[in-house]
Amino acid sequence: MNENAPSSLKNYVKNKEKEIQSLAKTIEMLKEEIEQKEEILLQRKSILEHEKLDETLLTDKFNSLYRIVKERGIFLVFHVQKHNLKEWDNLFVGKNGNKNLIINKNGEIIGELDKDIIRIFNKEIKEKKYSILVVRVNTKVIKARLVVK
Protein backbone atom coordinates (compact mmCIF):
# COMPACT_ATOMS: atom_id res chain seq x y z
CA MET A 1 0.00 0.00 0.00
CA ASN A 2 1.11 3.52 -0.65
CA GLU A 3 2.82 5.20 2.29
CA ASN A 4 1.06 8.43 1.54
CA ALA A 5 -2.39 6.85 1.94
CA PRO A 6 -4.45 8.24 4.76
CA SER A 7 -4.41 6.30 8.05
CA SER A 8 -8.15 5.60 7.90
CA LEU A 9 -7.64 3.80 4.60
CA LYS A 10 -4.73 1.85 6.13
CA ASN A 11 -6.97 0.85 9.06
CA TYR A 12 -9.71 -0.16 6.67
CA VAL A 13 -7.34 -2.36 4.70
CA LYS A 14 -5.94 -3.94 7.92
CA ASN A 15 -9.46 -4.67 9.14
CA LYS A 16 -10.40 -6.25 5.81
CA GLU A 17 -7.22 -8.37 5.85
CA LYS A 18 -8.04 -9.55 9.38
CA GLU A 19 -11.60 -10.30 8.25
CA ILE A 20 -10.23 -12.28 5.29
CA GLN A 21 -7.91 -14.25 7.59
CA SER A 22 -10.80 -14.93 9.97
CA LEU A 23 -12.97 -16.10 7.09
CA ALA A 24 -10.13 -18.30 5.82
CA LYS A 25 -9.89 -19.93 9.29
CA THR A 26 -13.66 -20.38 9.32
CA ILE A 27 -13.50 -21.98 5.86
CA GLU A 28 -10.83 -24.42 7.06
CA MET A 29 -12.82 -25.29 10.19
CA LEU A 30 -15.97 -25.84 8.11
CA LYS A 31 -14.04 -28.01 5.63
CA GLU A 32 -12.80 -30.17 8.52
CA GLU A 33 -16.30 -30.35 9.96
CA ILE A 34 -17.68 -31.37 6.55
CA GLU A 35 -15.04 -34.11 6.27
CA GLN A 36 -15.95 -35.38 9.76
CA LYS A 37 -19.66 -35.34 8.93
CA GLU A 38 -19.03 -37.16 5.64
CA GLU A 39 -17.05 -39.82 7.53
CA ILE A 40 -19.86 -40.20 10.06
CA LEU A 41 -22.36 -40.41 7.19
CA LEU A 42 -20.36 -43.18 5.52
CA GLN A 43 -20.16 -45.10 8.82
CA ARG A 44 -23.89 -44.76 9.37
CA LYS A 45 -24.64 -45.80 5.79
CA SER A 46 -22.54 -48.90 6.38
CA ILE A 47 -24.40 -49.64 9.61
CA LEU A 48 -27.73 -49.07 7.86
CA GLU A 49 -26.83 -51.48 5.06
CA HIS A 50 -25.79 -54.07 7.65
CA GLU A 51 -29.06 -53.59 9.53
CA LYS A 52 -31.07 -53.89 6.30
CA LEU A 53 -29.29 -57.14 5.52
CA ASP A 54 -29.97 -58.42 9.05
CA GLU A 55 -33.63 -57.42 8.73
CA THR A 56 -33.90 -59.23 5.40
CA LEU A 57 -32.34 -62.37 6.86
CA LEU A 58 -34.59 -62.26 9.93
CA THR A 59 -37.65 -61.65 7.75
CA ASP A 60 -36.73 -64.63 5.59
CA LYS A 61 -36.23 -66.84 8.66
CA PHE A 62 -39.51 -65.65 10.17
CA ASN A 63 -41.41 -66.27 6.93
CA SER A 64 -39.86 -69.70 6.62
CA LEU A 65 -40.79 -70.65 10.19
CA TYR A 66 -44.24 -69.10 9.75
CA ARG A 67 -44.82 -71.23 6.63
CA ILE A 68 -43.67 -74.38 8.45
CA VAL A 69 -45.98 -73.66 11.38
CA LYS A 70 -48.88 -72.98 9.02
CA GLU A 71 -48.23 -76.28 7.22
CA ARG A 72 -47.68 -78.45 10.30
CA GLY A 73 -49.50 -76.64 13.07
CA ILE A 74 -48.61 -76.04 16.70
CA PHE A 75 -49.29 -78.45 19.51
CA LEU A 76 -50.83 -76.94 22.60
CA VAL A 77 -50.84 -78.68 25.97
CA PHE A 78 -53.33 -77.80 28.68
CA HIS A 79 -53.34 -79.11 32.21
CA VAL A 80 -56.94 -79.28 33.36
CA GLN A 81 -58.52 -80.81 36.43
CA LYS A 82 -62.02 -81.26 35.06
CA HIS A 83 -63.04 -81.38 31.42
CA ASN A 84 -65.63 -82.80 29.12
CA LEU A 85 -63.53 -83.30 26.00
CA LYS A 86 -62.93 -86.18 23.63
CA GLU A 87 -60.40 -86.64 20.89
CA TRP A 88 -61.30 -84.81 17.64
CA ASP A 89 -63.34 -82.16 19.46
CA ASN A 90 -62.94 -78.63 18.11
CA LEU A 91 -61.79 -75.83 20.36
CA PHE A 92 -62.08 -72.09 19.79
CA VAL A 93 -60.37 -68.86 20.81
CA GLY A 94 -62.51 -66.53 22.90
CA LYS A 95 -61.64 -63.18 24.39
CA ASN A 96 -62.07 -62.24 28.01
CA GLY A 97 -60.74 -58.72 28.48
CA ASN A 98 -57.24 -58.81 27.06
CA LYS A 99 -56.85 -62.57 27.50
CA ASN A 100 -57.27 -65.01 24.63
CA LEU A 101 -58.82 -68.14 26.04
CA ILE A 102 -59.23 -71.58 24.56
CA ILE A 103 -62.83 -72.68 24.97
CA ASN A 104 -64.85 -75.71 23.95
CA LYS A 105 -68.15 -75.71 22.07
CA ASN A 106 -70.04 -75.21 25.35
CA GLY A 107 -68.01 -72.09 26.21
CA GLU A 108 -66.06 -73.78 29.01
CA ILE A 109 -62.54 -72.44 29.45
CA ILE A 110 -59.82 -74.99 28.73
CA GLY A 111 -56.78 -72.72 28.95
CA GLU A 112 -55.17 -69.52 27.78
CA LEU A 113 -53.47 -69.10 24.41
CA ASP A 114 -49.82 -68.08 24.64
CA LYS A 115 -49.17 -64.38 23.99
CA ASP A 116 -46.42 -65.17 21.46
CA ILE A 117 -48.82 -67.26 19.40
CA ILE A 118 -51.38 -64.45 19.51
CA ARG A 119 -48.77 -61.89 18.47
CA ILE A 120 -47.66 -63.98 15.48
CA PHE A 121 -51.08 -65.21 14.34
CA ASN A 122 -53.18 -62.25 15.46
CA LYS A 123 -54.67 -61.59 12.02
CA GLU A 124 -55.58 -65.23 11.39
CA ILE A 125 -57.17 -65.59 14.83
CA LYS A 126 -59.20 -62.39 14.46
CA GLU A 127 -60.39 -63.51 11.01
CA LYS A 128 -61.08 -67.02 12.39
CA LYS A 129 -58.71 -68.62 9.89
CA TYR A 130 -57.59 -71.36 12.23
CA SER A 131 -58.71 -74.62 13.72
CA ILE A 132 -57.87 -76.16 17.06
CA LEU A 133 -58.45 -79.88 17.28
CA VAL A 134 -58.08 -82.07 20.38
CA VAL A 135 -55.66 -84.87 19.48
CA ARG A 136 -55.06 -86.51 22.86
CA VAL A 137 -57.02 -86.60 26.09
CA ASN A 138 -55.76 -87.88 29.44
CA THR A 139 -57.32 -87.39 32.83
CA LYS A 140 -55.48 -84.12 33.49
CA VAL A 141 -53.76 -83.27 30.21
CA ILE A 142 -55.26 -82.22 26.91
CA LYS A 143 -53.14 -81.99 23.80
CA ALA A 144 -54.55 -79.97 20.90
CA ARG A 145 -53.24 -78.94 17.50
CA LEU A 146 -53.57 -75.37 16.25
CA VAL A 147 -53.53 -75.10 12.47
CA VAL A 148 -53.57 -71.75 10.74
CA LYS A 149 -55.23 -71.66 7.34
pLDDT per position as a tens digit, 134-146: 999 988 899 999 9
Amino acid at 143: K
In a domain, 111, yes or no: yes
For 45-90, what is each residue's pLDDT tens digit? 999 999 999 999 999 999 998 888 888 999 999 998 787 889 999 9
For 90-110, what is each residue's pLDDT tens digit? 999 998 888 899 999 988 899
Q: Give the three-class secondary structure for 85.
A: coil
Domain boundary among 49, 72, 95: 72
Domain boundary among 51, 72, 93: 72
Instruction: Kindly state whether residues 102 and 62 are assigned to the same domain.
Output: no
Instruction: Kindly state whether residues 63 and 22 are assigned to the same domain.
Output: yes
User: Which of 91, 58, 59, 60 lies closest to 73, judged by CA?
Assistant: 91
Whether the Cβ atoms of residue 85 and residue 104 lie closer than 8 Å to each other:
yes
Residue 113 has pLDDT above 60, yes or no: yes
pTM attached to this predicted model: 0.64
Instruction: Kindly state whether residues 68 and 33 are assigned to the same domain.
Output: yes
Instruction: Tell me how many domains the chain contains.
Output: 2
In a domain, 130, yes or no: yes
Instruction: Kindly state whether residues 83 and 50 are assigned to the same domain.
Output: no
User: Which of 102, 123, 121 lies closest to 113, judged by CA?
Assistant: 102
Residue 76: exposed, middle, or buried by beta-carbon count in 10 A (0-12, 13-18, 19+)? buried
Residue 4 has pLDDT above 80, yes or no: no
Domain boundary among 72, 102, 117: 72
Instruction: Kindly state whether residues 67 and 127 are assigned to the same domain.
Output: no
Alpha-carbon distances, residue 47 vs 53, 59, 114 (angstroms): 10, 18, 35
